[in-house]
C-alpha cells in the first residue's frame, strides 16, 4: 500500500495489550468478519457476535447484563434486559411487542403524564385500546375484564408520579396470571435496589434509566427487563431493532458508570427524602405531603411490604395558596433547582400541573391529586440540614 489515503484508512492496528479497567465505549456502527462463513454464523444467530450497533453493541450489552443482574440479585430468577433510546421508547417497544390491533391495556389512572400521552396519542392509533382504573381489587378487575375480554396487559406505575400512590404488585400479578394477562411495571422511582417487581410475580419491568440508574442527569436512555427470555429474543428484540429505538453506546456507558454508585445514592436520597417529608408535614403552609415512607400516606402499608428498607427519593407536597404560592416558593429556593426531570444527585423541584401533567384535563388532574399547589421534589444527596433549611426559608417567605 503506497497511497496516502489507503494508508490513512488501513495501516493501523489496535494497540491494546491489557484489559481496560473501565468499560470502553464502542463507538462503531458495524463490526467486521474474517470470512463470509463467520458472517453467516453470526447473522443467523448460530454463534454469538456483533454485526451492527442497532442490533447490539458491546458497551450496550454489558450494561444490559449489569441491569439484569441487579434486577435479579439474590432472587434465583433469570432475566434479560434490552436498553432503549429513552424510557418512553421502552414503554412503546414493549407494548407494541405484546399487543396487536384490537388488543387492550388495562392501566392505572395515576401515571406520568407522558405515558398517558403515549397511550392516547400514539398507541391508540395503532388500534390498541386503553382502559383505566384506580381500583385493583380482584372483583373490580374481573368486572373490567368481562366488559373488555381483549385486555392483554396490566400496566402499573408504583409509586405513581407525582402523588407516590403504591399498588400491591403481588396481588395484581397473581390476578393477571390467573387471567393470562401480562404485567408491566414502571420501576423508575424505586430502582432494583429498593423494589424488585419480578420477585413479586411481575412479567416485565421498564425504566427511564435517564433518572436514578444514570443518576447524574447526563443522558437519556431506557431499559426493558423481563423474565421471559425467549419472548425478549423473538419479539421485543425484533421490535426494538426494526423500530430503531436502540440505545447508543455512549448513553449506555453513562448508565453503566452511574450504576456503580446506585446503592450509595439511593440510600442517601431516601434518608434525605424521609427527613424532608417529616419537616414538610409539620409546616403550617403545607396542606399535604405525599411520601410512602410516612405512616400518614394512604398506601404506606403496601410500600412497607414491597420496598426493601427504603422508600426512595421522590415526594410531593401541596402548599396553600395554589399556583401563586408555588411561583413565589420556586423563586425563593436557593439549593433546589426547578427542572423537568428527577433522579439527579442534586435536589430538583417541578410543578406537575403546568409541566408533566399539563396535557391532562383539569378534571383528570384533580382525580389524580394534581392540584395547582402540588410540587414534586426529587430529593438530592446534599446535606439534609441544608435541604431542609432551604425549604424552610422559602416557605417562610410565602405571603
**Residue 146 lies inside a defined structural domain of this protein:** yes
pLDDT of residue 308: 84
Residue 222: the pLDDT is: 98
- Residue 16 domain-assigned (yes or no): no
> Would you tell me how many other CB atoms lie within 10 Å of the CB of residue 294?
19
**pLDDT in the model for residue 8:** 86
Q: Quick one: 346 and 271 in the same domain?
A: yes
- Taking alpha carbons only, the member of 332, 329, 302, 310 closest to residue 318 is 329
Helix axes 384-396, 262-281, angle to 10 degrees: 30
Is 200 in the same domain as 58?
yes
State how many domains the chain has.
2
Residue ending a domain, among 259, 282, 302, is 259
Question: Does 91 map to a domain?
Answer: yes
Which residues lie across from 154 on neighbouring strands? 106, 183
Residues 266-298 pLDDT 10s: 999 999 999 999 999 999 999 999 999 999 999
Q: What is the 3-state secondary structure (H, E, C) of 228-256?
A: CHHHHHHHHHHHHHHHCCECCHHHHHHHH
Last residue of a domain, one of 232, 259, 286: 259
pTM of the model: 0.94
Give the per-residue pLDDT at 359.
66
Is residue 1 a part of any domain in this protein?
A: no
Looking at the structure, do residues 288 and 204 belong to the same domain, yes or no?
no
The answer to whether the CB of 84 falls within 8 A of the CB of 63 is no
Q: Identify the CATH number of the domain in which residue 171 sits.
A: 3.40.640.10
Are residues 270 and 251 both part of a single domain?
A: no
Q: What is the share, in percent, of the chain residues with pLDDT greater than 70?
A: 97
Q: What is the DSSP string of 94-136?
A: HHHHH--TT-EEEEES---HHHHHIIIIIGGGGT-EEEEES--
Question: Do residues 235 and 320 both lie within one domain?
Answer: no
CATH number of the domain to which 347 belongs: 3.90.1150.10
Instruction: Please say whether the dihedral angle defined by the alpha carbons of residues 167, 171, 175 and 181, taken in this order, is positive or negative.
Output: positive
Which pLDDT value is given to residue 98? 98
313 in the same domain as 253: no
d(CA 304, CA 288): 20
The pLDDT tens digits for 139-167 are: 999 999 999 999 999 999 999 989 999 99
Same domain, 270 and 237: no
pLDDT in tens, the chain (399 residues): 888 888 888 988 888 888 899 999 999 999 999 999 999 999 888 998 999 999 999 999 999 999 999 999 999 999 999 999 999 999 999 999 999 999 999 999 888 888 999 999 999 999 999 999 999 999 999 999 999 999 999 999 999 989 999 999 999 999 999 999 999 999 999 999 999 999 999 999 999 999 999 999 999 999 999 999 999 999 999 999 999 999 999 999 999 999 999 999 999 999 999 999 999 999 999 999 999 999 999 999 999 999 989 999 999 999 999 999 999 999 999 999 999 999 999 999 999 988 766 767 666 667 677 889 999 999 999 999 999 999 999 999 996
Kindly state whether residue 187 falls inside one of the protein's structural domains. yes
Q: Does 94 share its domain with 240?
A: yes
Residue 306 in any domain: the answer is: yes
pLDDT for the residue numbered 365: 66
What pLDDT, in 10s, does the model give residues 30-70?
A: 999 999 999 999 988 899 899 999 999 999 999 999 999 99
Domain assignment of residue 352, yes or no? yes
**Boundary (domain end) residue, out of 210, 238, 259:** 259
Task: Give the whole-angstrom CA distance, residue 343 versus residue 335.
Answer: 15
Examine the domain organization and report whether 280 and 157 are in the same domain.
no
User: 178 and 213 share a domain?
Assistant: yes
Determine, yes or no, domain membership for 309: yes
Domain that holds residue 316: 262-396
Contacts of 325 by beta carbon, 8 Å cutoff, 6+ apart: 285, 319, 373, 398
What is the distance between the alpha carbons of residues 399 and 327, in angstroms, rounded to a whole number? 12
pLDDT at 14: 83
pLDDT at 367: 67
CA gap 46, 223 in Å, rounded: 26
Q: Are residues 301 and 212 part of one domain?
A: no
Task: Mark whether 275 and 253 lie in a shared domain.
Answer: no
Amino acid at each position: 500500500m503506497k497511497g496516502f489515503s489507503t494508508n490513512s484508512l488501513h495501516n493501523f492496528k489496535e494497540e491494546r495489550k491489557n484489559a481496560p479497567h473501565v468499560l470502553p465505549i464502542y463507538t462503531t456502527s458495524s463490526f467486521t468478519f474474517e470470512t463470509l462463513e463467520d458472517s453467516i454464523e453470526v447473522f443467523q444467530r448460530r454463534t454469538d457476535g456483533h454485526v451492527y450497533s442497532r442490533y447490539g453493541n458491546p458497551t450496550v450489552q454489558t450494561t444490559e447484563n449489569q441491569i439484569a443482574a441487579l434486577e435479579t440479585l439474590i432472587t434465583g430468577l433469570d432475566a434479560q434486559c434490552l436498553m432503549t433510546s429513552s424510557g418512553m421508547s421502552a414503554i412503546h417497544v414493549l407494548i407494541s411487542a405484546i399487543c396487536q390491533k384490537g388488543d387492550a391495556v388495562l392501566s392505572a389512572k395515576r401515571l406520568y403524564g407522558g405515558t398517558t400521552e403515549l397511550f392516547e396519542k400514539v398507541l391508540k392509533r395503532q388500534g390498541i385500546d386503553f382502559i383505566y382504573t384506580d381500583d385493583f381489587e380482584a372483583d373490580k378487575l374481573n368486572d373490567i375484564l368481562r366488559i373488555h375480554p381483549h385486555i392483554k396487559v396490566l400496566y402499573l406505575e408504583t409509586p405513581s408520579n407525582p402523588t407516590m400512590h403504591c399498588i400491591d404488585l403481588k396481588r395484581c400479578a397473581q390476578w393477571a396470571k390467573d387471567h393470562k394477562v401480562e404485567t408491566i411495571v414502571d420501576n423508575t422511582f424505586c430502582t432494583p435496589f429498593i423494589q424488585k417487581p419480578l420477585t413479586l410475580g411481575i412479567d416485565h419491568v421498564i425504566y427511564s434509566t435517564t433518572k436514578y440508574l444514570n443518576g447524574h442527569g447526563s443522558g437519556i436512555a431506557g431499559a426493558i427487563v423481563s423474565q421471559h427470555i425467549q419472548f425478549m429474543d423473538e419479539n421485543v428484540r425484533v421490535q426494538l431493532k426494526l423500530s430503531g429505538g436502540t440505545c447508543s453506546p455512549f448513553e449506555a456507558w453513562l448508565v453503566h458508570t452511574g450504576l456503580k454508585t446506585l446503592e450509595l445514592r439511593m440510600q442517601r436520597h431516601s434518608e434525605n427524602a424521609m427527613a424532608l417529608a417529616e419537616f414538610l408535614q409539620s409546616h403550617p403552609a403545607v396542606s399535604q405531603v405525599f411520601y410512602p415512607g410516612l405512616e400518614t400516606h394512604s398506601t404506606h402499608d403496601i410500600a412497607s411490604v414491597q420496598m426493601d428498607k427504603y422508600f426512595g427519593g421522590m415526594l410531593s407536597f401541596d402548599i396553600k395558596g395554589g399556583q401563586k404560592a408555588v411561583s413565589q416558593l420556586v423563586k425563593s429556593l436557593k439549593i433546589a433547582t426547578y427542572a423537568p426531570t428527577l433522579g439527579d444527585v442534586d435536589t430538583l423541584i417541578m410543578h406537575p400541573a403546568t409541566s408533566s401533567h399539563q396535557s391532562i384535563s383539569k378534571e383528570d388532574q384533580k382525580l389524580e391529586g394534581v392540584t395547582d399547589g402540588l410540587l414534586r421534589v426529587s430529593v438530592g444527596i446534599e446535606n439534609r440540614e441544608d435541604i431542609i433549611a432551604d425549604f424552610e426559608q422559602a416557605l417562610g417567605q410565602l405571603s
